[in-house]
Amino acid sequence: MYNSEIIGCGMYVPERVVTNHDLSKIMDTTHDWIVQRSGIEERRWVSPETSTSDLALIACEQAIKNAGIDKSEIDCLLFATISPDHDFPGNACFLQPKLGLTDIPAIDVRQQCSGFIYGMSIADAFIKSGQYKTILLVGAEVHSKGMDISTKGRDVAVLFGDGAGAVVIRRTEVKDHAKSSHIMSTHLFSEGSNAKALWGAAPGSGLGTVDRINNLHLEEGLQYPSMNGKKVFANAVRRMCECLMLALETNKVKLEDIDLFLFHQANLRINQMLAQELKIPEEKIFNTIMKYGNTTAATIPIGMTEAVKAGKLKKGTLVASAAFGSGFTWASSVYRW
């Protein structure tokens, strides 16, 4: 049976840096308040003319270059995002021509903060089945255009940033499962009964109105995301712990065997609590949320790329990832770089 291997990664974040001090000028908040609750010090936001697929394009081009392949070798495109350029068609269809690709499948993954690991799982399954050989997976978000950037919306607005991260995943034949570079396993979960604990109500067909969005919805602010922060935090820690341990047990590895933990970057306090619960040494966790905020589906591949640059992620590194997000959805993966 075939296996899959990550052979290159790339990232892109907008040039515009928005600090906590910048936000304190437009809403009732402070640098210390944001850092205390999230660990975030700054984030990147796009200029008005920039779209999600624009960010994805640059990250993908970098990943293709770093993988050392020609883009013509890509036979499937997966795009994880909750902030598409347009309502429809899927964002992978807008990215495909920008990359100069034709005819290959272009598929969107709509699993919010868990989207990248869900995408890894889909790519791994496609490759193991023999259907595709070289898959480009990208996670990208433009959150800054869809939030209530005011005191009313500050609990959500201070958390999110814009950015993109991408990987090239290619077929490989594994001779030694303990040492060869490959995706060892992925584990996916959801609990839809909590969907409204973190969601965007409008536009939508489930609002009980003729229109998917109308002036009343806008006046109520239903176009902006809302969150039950305490519920999200508690569930994130519990579910990420559970699925991470399952991934380790499945692969018969111990926590101390993992060289690097690349977790979704939703809130630094969640990752610190996760580390505390499982007694993971701080030096084994690579965090980027301090300077980029929560970029949803892009956080893990951004972390990969930053970790490579920092010398933390290199050939042979055994990595574990876990994510939790809206849905509720959560996921984990173990892979050797």
**What pLDDT shows up at residue 177?**
77
- Residue corresponding to tokens 């020609």: 70
Query: Which pair of tokens denotes residue 110?
Result: 């709509």
User: Out of 20, 91, 267, 294, which one is annotated catalytic?
Assistant: 294
Strand partners, 333: 186, 321
Query: Quick one: tokens of 178?
Result: 């303990």
The catalytically annotated residue of 9, 76, 93, 113 is 113
Distance in angstroms (rounded) separating the CA atoms of residues 221 and 153: 9
Distances (CA, A) of 137 to 4, 85, 204, 283, 322: 13, 17, 27, 28, 17
Q: Could you give the CA distance from residue 96 to residue 160 in angstroms, rounded to a whole number?
A: 26
Tokens 């499948």 label which residue? Answer: 105
Residue whose pair of structure tokens reads 């919306």 in the numeric block:
153
Residues 189 and 48: their CA atoms lie apart, in Å, by 35
What pLDDT is attached to residue 176? 81
Q: Is 294 a catalytic residue?
A: yes
Reported residue count of the chain is 337
Q: What is the pLDDT of residue 298?
A: 98
Q: Which run of H or of E encompasses 37?
A: helix 31-38
Q: Is 264 a catalytic residue?
A: yes
The model's pTM = 0.97
- Does residue 241 have an active-site annotation? no
Token pair for residue 303?
């972390």
Contact 221, 148 (CB under 8 A): yes
- How far apart CA 295 and CA 186 sit, in angstroms, is 21
Per-residue model confidence as pLDDT tens digits over 162-207: 999 999 999 998 888 778 999 999 999 999 999 999 999 999 999 9
Please name which of 179, 127, 170, 162 lies closest in space to residue 302, comparing C-alpha atoms: 162
Domains of the chain: 3-172 (3.40.47.10), 182-336 (3.40.47.10)
List pLDDT tens digits, range 211-261.
999 999 999 999 999 999 999 999 999 999 999 999 999 999 999 999 999
Check residue 126 and give its pLDDT.
98
The reported pLDDT for the residue numbered 279 is 96
Per-residue pLDDT 10s for the chain (337 aa) are 799 999 999 999 999 999 999 999 999 999 999 999 999 999 999 999 999 999 999 999 999 999 999 999 999 999 999 999 999 999 999 999 999 999 999 999 999 999 999 999 999 999 999 999 999 999 999 999 999 999 999 999 999 999 999 999 999 988 887 789 999 999 999 999 999 999 999 999 999 999 999 999 999 999 999 999 999 999 999 999 999 999 999 999 999 999 999 999 999 999 999 999 999 999 999 999 999 999 999 999 999 999 999 999 999 999 999 999 999 999 999 999 9
Q: What is the pLDDT of residue 303?
A: 98
Task: State the catalytic residue, choosing from 143, 264, 267, 287.
Answer: 264
